[in-house]
Structure 1
Amino acid sequence: MKPSGYVVMSLVASGVPVCAAAQDSDEGIGADGGDIVVTATRQPRPIENVPGSVLLLDEEALQREQGFTGAEDLAELLPGVEAAVANGTQVAFQIRGIGAVDHQALTPTAAAVYSDGVFLATNVQTGALLYDLARVEVLKGPQGTLYGRNASAGAVNLVSRRPDAEGANYARFGYGNFDRVDIDAAFGGRIGDGAYARLASTYVKRSPVLENVAGPPEASGETDEFGLRLSALLDRGGPRLLLRGHYEEDKGINTMPRNDALDLDKHEIESEGDGIQRSDNAFYGVSAELTVHLDDWQLFSLTAFEGYRQNYGFDFDGTAAPFGNPSLNANLSYARDFAQFSEEARLSRQFTGGSFLLGMAASLEDFSQRYTIWCGELDPRTLVGSCDYVGAPGRVGPTPASTAPASTLVTDISQERISLALFTYNRLELARRLTLTAGLRLSYEDIRGEGQGIHIFRDGVRAFNDRDGLGPAKGSNVIVTTRLSGNAALSYDLGDANAYLSVANGYKSGGFNGEVANDALNYADEGLFAAETVTTIEAGLKGRVATLRYSFAGFYSDYQDPQARIFVEFALPDGSSIVSNALSNLDAARSYGIEGQLGWTPIGGLDLDLGAVWNRAGIEQDSAIGGNAELYDGQPLPFAPEFSGNARVRYETRIGRDAALALNANANFRSRFYLDPSGLPERSQGDVLTVSAGASLALDTGIEISIWGRNLTNRDYAVSGYGFIGYNTFRSDPRTFGGSVSFAL
């Protein structure tokens, strides 16, 4: 648990040797005393030799950043990476402006997220996994070879600590403002001849952090999360088997959004509280990782199951009485079940002058969801609200099934996905200093979805949605896709530096709109969204001079058929209007820019780090979409600030003979960014500067005392937004701080 050294992203800011252990081996990595080794390329390689932009956070850097509330906090440490937080807990990573900002859980994000090598197929699985991590690796740009589908923006790898002989046992107890309680512990070590085990757990509880000016405090959310991870390693010199299992649960309350029509102070929301629902979310999984050495070859297999169930919701309209009319109130809930079985196998070989890798991947996913939206208090038996949901009447069709008012909307959808892939990734030294890296991936997907959307009248009558008389909102469809993607790069060894030029192609699959089904077109071809593709050309230079490490890159991305959530107004029977939305495809977009990272240790114990990205990401729209082409043409891509930067400083020194003092601070800046593709100023977030800091006193007895603070500037900013009645945004946490005591066991 004791921090020492500081590894940040694609550089090291410490003069001491630092390495990131390989996924299939903890031995022999970084033994040269200086290399940072990453495994995001499926084979351990020094980070300077990877022909692309790679960001790295090691175990010690992650431990120093106490006070995390979710995966979105990682973005503050990773320049050029943004995190949109939809529905209060669903995290979608955006890299260089690429990726739809979406709350739908049917499809993954454009930055593919992996946990211990297992693909997390939906955007609700990430937040509960950030404990006892060994490192986080991020690959920027499309990943068309090793990571395949749904990696059009990049890949994020969360790697937990492996069982080993050392154990690294610890217990940490923390307390912070808003009655925050943190308990973390891990125990492990040798349990037999060549056998090791590790048990890690976490518990976080916190009271509401925003102020609700119109009702109960819990409308601004509560945190109540628990996690448990067990792993066992059998390594007796022959085949190596690593078994993992995890279980996490969330019993908190989702934060309500804020409606932009309200005149509120910082960190305030307004809700009467009838949408408050305590979550009942559970995430679980098991995996078996087998490594077999066959002379000069290595066979690797990863078999896994991941699943979850979710029941949660919140006040959807973000205000107690929209425009003074309490009948415009809206609450929603999600009930989800998901299961995924996957297998990945790789055969690889290192040889003089290069390496060869051939792999296959297969997965089967089963997803189901019920989405319910209503007004006031909901009768759990009839699903009729105590007032009339404003959006229901617009969907009843030309011949309503009842003369009573339409009250509630319910949409059910189920989806099965089969994914198969063959891929190869290879390196070959063309000359003494010139290396070619190239790969291909052939992907096949079969996605089958079916669902229905109904409205429920006040007298209990149920009928299919049939907006504008287009037909009942019930149906099914099949999406079958075969894609060839890949990458190629040339890198040249300059001694203390490495220059590279690369081109990479990736895609994110299309799919179904699974929230509100308005009419028959929802499940017809017209209601689907298509796959998006990204091709990126990148040139970069990485290297080190003495204690200075640097990484610079320029990139250009051609973004075809970008997936985007489009908000469209439609008329209600009384002449007013409401905003409906769906995932759709824009024509094209471009993203280009430059980025750089520097890490320097001017004196022993002092580490300085700087990362910056300048990025222009704009939409090119010729055809009409949502009834208006001009609205989107020339607008910035969502969550793509033109400039973002990150600066860190850490100082460590001995105090006497028995203690060490460590101080660290982090500042993150993002220029104005937009929350959706409309480019409207009122749907944007202005410049954001956040600062976090911490200090720790580590005693040689194994006790460490720490204090920390996050968002010390107390900035109130939007972390995502959506149109409904006006515009609603989920808000950031205010200033938080706390302390902890940890014990090495």
Structure 2
Amino acid sequence: MRYLTGVSAAALCIASTAFASEPSTDEIIVTATKRPLPLSEVAGSVDVIELGSQPGGLDRAEEITRLVTGLQAAVANGSQIAYQIRGIGAVDHQALTPGAAAVYRDGVLLATNVQTGFLLYDMARVEVLKGPQGTLYGRNASSGSINFVTNRPGTDAPSSLRLRAGSYDLLDVAGAFETSLAEDLAARLAFRGRLQGPVLDNVASGGFPAGSDRAAGETEDFGMRLSVLREGDRSTALLRLHYEAQKGTNPAPLNSALDLGDHEISVGNDGLQPRDNDFYGASLETTWTSGGWDMTSLTAFEGYAQNYGFDFDGTPAPFGIPSLNANLRYNRDYWQASQELRGVKELERGSLLIGLAASTDDFQQDYLIWCGRLDEATLLGSCTYVGAPGRVGPTPASPSPVRSLLTTIEQQRSTGALFASLQHDLTDRLALTLGGRLTAEDIDGEGFGIHLFEDGTRAFNDRDGLGDAVGSNSIEETRFTGDAALRYAISLRTNVYASVASGFKSGGFNGEVANNAGHYADEGLFGAETVIAYELGLRSRVTDRLRGSIAAFILDYDDPQARIFVPFTQPDGTTIISNSLSNLDAAGVRGLEIEAEAQPTDRLDLRASVTLLDTEIYQPFDGSSNAALFDGNPLPFASEVSATLSGRWLLPFAGDRFSIAADAKYRSDYQLDAEGLDERKQEGFTTVNAAFEAAVTDDLTFSIWGRNLSDEDYAVSGYGFIGTNTFRSAPRTVGMDLRLVF
């Protein structure tokens, strides 16, 4: 397990001893810069993690957060991931919203948060770029970029087969097989299948019996990827095809009103629904040289079909108690097509990168809420969903009871961008990086919200009598973002940096409950957010056994997108929470990061890092009663302190056949949303993971491992509805692996 870290053009200029010895020959090459660069020459903040043998392995993409400080993930609805980097990133559960941290797999943007919680298998590394990435990655990279890189044919990655068994009926099989099809043609097939029973306990509470344990979540995941590489004398072509499936059930949330123990929820069976998610895609990456330019073309198609739901209120209330009974289902279809073409030309004192990118996507969703048992033919619940009466308007379309709520939306997005980045050596020690990107975006959306009555009547929602919840709208924006950085080599081993960078995250439509006509009007949309980052930093290889970095940064955050939870009164006088994505006025982030990697002996590798954050929302009073709810609050999922410690020790007996690896991460308390309420705060906690590995032969290894050994129970996301509902972490899990390399 080897961790490779870097600091941004973000770095704190502190005193440092100059070392005149030659740089190490094992310099890390970073590819997320879209032109391979040694880490020491990167004018940007980068953490690079080799995904090899982390204790217990990594199951899903969001688990990289346990290895990187300043990186958090809100996990909603089981597998929808919103990443936060240095406190920046809207915590939102609707799939229509892109993340503030752009997530890429093999260079292909995964544009919705539904795609970003994918199963990990046959991965080489992940590169986390901290700070706005407005030049190379463009829109929706206002906090940074996370790049997952799979093993490609023709590398040193071996063919292998791994069997895993563990707690809660865990059975996990993964493999990768590579073969040469011809002298210049190689193929690699990788797969993973993972089965696990519920990891939470569904218990009785409030005098109501508990439903099935399956409501606590059940995993049936499968993934397969085929890569075919053709390498010619002057060109290469790499074709990738993948398919992943998520079956089983999504976990229900925990309602804050229930007095339960750790890793417990309490829901009935009425909201229990199977999960049926399918993801697929293909990409073709070609490289060639022409006229002194190194050219790269990446053509890609990604899509998914998704159908799942869960008990939305998080209580075990039986049928017929509408004030405590609400179930939710999503039915989504999405596809995206993209093309990027870029060229890199080496100059006398640097290099120039020029590129263009274009994409188009289509998103469709039906969002259904009901009470009790659902009639699939009529979409009627067996009782009245708690929020429905408040949305029918002052003159209901029918005297019969209203049962269910359905919101449908379709959105199309087209984008185009031109970008360029120049690296120029001003002197032998001083290098300049300049970059810019011009992005044009066109978003069209339409939809409606209806309530369904018991007698079959369907009518548009009209909460507060503001007009029927049906309409369409469009957003057209052209934005320029960019960066500038200076890097100075104090010595062959030590560099300092200074940079300024900007980025933006697109605005869009709220894809969930459409209450009235205002939902599709301009006031119902959310606008783009922007971030400008100023950073200073230092990176040094102090000796061949010690390297470190330190970075200080200030982020100006304008129009931050946030999910706003607003109470509204029902006709019977009761109150529930409605929510939508909106823009706050501004926020600020100040922080410091320190990272160190050491090899005290030939048998021991250590890595430590800490991120200190100070975040604050600026929401001056503007006549709105909501202003006071946000002003002065910290940003969501922005722990003031996060720290990691990890290492691997090759035991000093039996040759090199036994090793122990461990990692730990501390996160101080954080808010689940922007309102800063005590009931939506997660207290600080520490997670620990460890593994013992034994090489039985040169090709066969056996390991035992434990994850979350501290057995922490913490909220991974939450929302307001009837009280506060939170999705919970998995408890302590232990298991064993058997891995064969051939």
- TM-score, normalised via structure 1 length: 0.95
Once residues 7 and 96 of structure 1 are traced to their aligned partners in structure 2, the CA distance between those partners, rounded to angstroms, is 20
Once residues 80 and 143 of structure 1 are traced to their aligned partners in structure 2, the CA distance between those partners, rounded to angstroms, is 16
Task: Give the Å deviation of 1:127.
Answer: 1.9
Which of 693, 699, 705 aligns to 1:702? It is 699
Tell me: CA distance 1:108–1:278, structure 2 relative to 1, closer, same or farther (3 Å): same
Give per-residue Cα distances to partners, 1:420-455, cap 9 Å, x unaligned: 000001100111200000100000000000000000
In the alignment, residue 349 of structure 2 is paired with which amino acid? G
Aligned partner of 1:290 in structure 2 is 286
In the alignment, residue 487 of structure 2 is paired with which amino acid? S
In the alignment, residue 85 of structure 1 is paired with which amino acid? V
Structure 2 residue 342 is matched with structure 1 residue 346 = yes
Tell me: CA distance 1:305–1:609, structure 2 relative to 1, closer, same or farther (3 Å): same
Q: What's the secondary structure of 2:523's corresponding residue?
A: helix
In the alignment, residue 386 of structure 1 is paired with which amino acid? S
Once residues 498 and 156 of structure 2 are traced to their aligned partners in structure 1, the CA distance between those partners, rounded to angstroms, is 41
Task: Give the Å deviation of 1:622.
Answer: 1.3
Once residues 323 and 192 of structure 1 are traced to their aligned partners in structure 2, the CA distance between those partners, rounded to angstroms, is 64
In the alignment, residue 88 of structure 1 is paired with which amino acid? G
Equivalent residues in 2 for 1:480-519 (5 A)?
A: 480-495=476-491, 496-519=493-516
Aligned partner of 1:86 in structure 2 is 76
Which of 363, 367, 378 aligns to 1:367? It is 363
Which of 550, 556, 560 aligns to 2:548? It is 550
Question: Contact conserved, 1:711 with 1:736, CA < 8 A, in 2?
Answer: yes
Which of 111, 118, 121 aligns to 1:121? It is 111
Task: Give the Å deviation of 1:108.
Answer: 1.2
Once residues 449 and 252 of structure 1 are traced to their aligned partners in structure 2, the CA distance between those partners, rounded to angstroms, is 32
Task: Give the Å deviation of 1:241.
Answer: 0.3
Aligned partner of 1:38 in structure 2 is 30
Once residues 46 and 657 of structure 2 are traced to their aligned partners in structure 1, the CA distance between those partners, rounded to angstroms, is 31
Structure 2 residue 59 is matched with structure 1 residue 76 = no
Tell me: CA distance 1:268–1:486, structure 2 relative to 1, closer, same or farther (3 Å): same
Aligned partner of 1:716 in structure 2 is 713
Once residues 265 and 252 of structure 2 are traced to their aligned partners in structure 1, the CA distance between those partners, rounded to angstroms, is 7
The root-mean-square deviation of aligned C-alpha atoms, in Å, is 1.6
Equivalent residues in 2 for 1:180-191 (5 A)?
A: 180-191=170-181
Equivalent residues in 2 for 1:448-459 (5 A)?
A: 448-459=444-455
Once residues 324 and 240 of structure 1 are traced to their aligned partners in structure 2, the CA distance between those partners, rounded to angstroms, is 63
In the alignment, residue 44 of structure 1 is paired with which amino acid? P
Question: Contact conserved, 1:165 with 1:196, CA < 8 A, in 2?
Answer: no
Tell me: CA distance 1:737–1:94, structure 2 relative to 1, closer, same or farther (3 Å): same
Task: Give the Å deviation of 1:322.
Answer: 9.6
- TM-score, normalised via structure 2 length: 0.95
Aligned partner of 2:43 in structure 1 is 51
Once residues 166 and 687 of structure 1 are traced to their aligned partners in structure 2, the CA distance between those partners, rounded to angstroms, is 41
Aligned partner of 1:388 in structure 2 is 384
In the alignment, residue 263 of structure 2 is paired with which amino acid? H
Question: Contact conserved, 2:56 with 2:689, CA < 8 A, in 1?
Answer: no
Once residues 610 and 73 of structure 2 are traced to their aligned partners in structure 1, the CA distance between those partners, rounded to angstroms, is 17
Equivalent residues in 2 for 1:463-478 (5 A)?
A: 463-478=459-474
Question: Contact conserved, 2:221 with 2:245, CA < 8 A, in 1?
Answer: yes
Task: Give the Å deviation of 1:711.
Answer: 0.6
Tell me: CA distance 1:438–1:68, structure 2 relative to 1, closer, same or farther (3 Å): same
Once residues 358 and 251 of structure 2 are traced to their aligned partners in structure 1, the CA distance between those partners, rounded to angstroms, is 37
Tell me: CA distance 1:358–1:220, structure 2 relative to 1, closer, same or farther (3 Å): same
Once residues 301 and 564 of structure 1 are traced to their aligned partners in structure 2, the CA distance between those partners, rounded to angstroms, is 36
Structure 2 residue 516 is matched with structure 1 residue 525 = no
In the alignment, residue 64 of structure 1 is paired with which amino acid? Q
Equivalent residues in 2 for 1:380-419 (5 A)?
A: 380-419=376-415
Give per-residue Cα distances to partners, 1:189-228, cap 9 Å, x unaligned: 3221111110000000000000000221111000100000
Aligned partner of 2:206 in structure 1 is none
Q: How many residues align?
A: 720
Aligned partner of 2:648 in structure 1 is 650
Unaligned runs of 5+ in 2: 8-21, 204-209
Greater mean deviation of Cα atoms: 706-715 or 157-166: 157-166
Once residues 485 and 300 of structure 2 are traced to their aligned partners in structure 1, the CA distance between those partners, rounded to angstroms, is 32
Question: Contact conserved, 1:227 with 1:247, CA < 8 A, in 2?
Answer: yes
Residue identity (%): 54
Tell me: CA distance 1:691–1:322, structure 2 relative to 1, closer, same or farther (3 Å): farther
In the alignment, residue 381 of structure 2 is paired with which amino acid? G
Aligned partner of 1:146 in structure 2 is 136
Tell me: CA distance 1:344–1:54, structure 2 relative to 1, closer, same or farther (3 Å): same
In the alignment, residue 178 of structure 2 is paired with which amino acid? G
Structure 2 residue 170 is matched with structure 1 residue 172 = no
Question: Contact conserved, 1:52 with 1:540, CA < 8 A, in 2?
Answer: no
Tell me: CA distance 1:626–1:139, structure 2 relative to 1, closer, same or farther (3 Å): farther
Once residues 350 and 319 of structure 2 are traced to their aligned partners in structure 1, the CA distance between those partners, rounded to angstroms, is 66
Task: Give the Å deviation of 1:319.
Answer: 0.7
Once residues 65 and 338 of structure 1 are traced to their aligned partners in structure 2, the CA distance between those partners, rounded to angstroms, is 35
Q: What's the secondary structure of 1:245's corresponding residue?
A: strand
Which of 587, 602, 610 aligns to 1:612? It is 610
Tell me: CA distance 1:721–1:647, structure 2 relative to 1, closer, same or farther (3 Å): same
Task: Give the Å deviation of 1:45.
Answer: 1.1
Unaligned runs of 5+ in 1: 12-29
Aligned partner of 1:24 in structure 2 is none
Task: Give the Å deviation of 1:69.
Answer: 3.8
Aligned partner of 1:735 in structure 2 is 732
Once residues 447 and 296 of structure 2 are traced to their aligned partners in structure 1, the CA distance between those partners, rounded to angstroms, is 39
Task: Give the Å deviation of 1:518.
Answer: 0.3
Aligned partner of 1:300 in structure 2 is 296
Aligned partner of 1:671 in structure 2 is 668
Question: Contact conserved, 1:412 with 1:451, CA < 8 A, in 2?
Answer: yes
Task: Give the Å deviation of 1:387.
Answer: 1.0
Greater mean deviation of Cα atoms: 33-42 or 476-485: 33-42
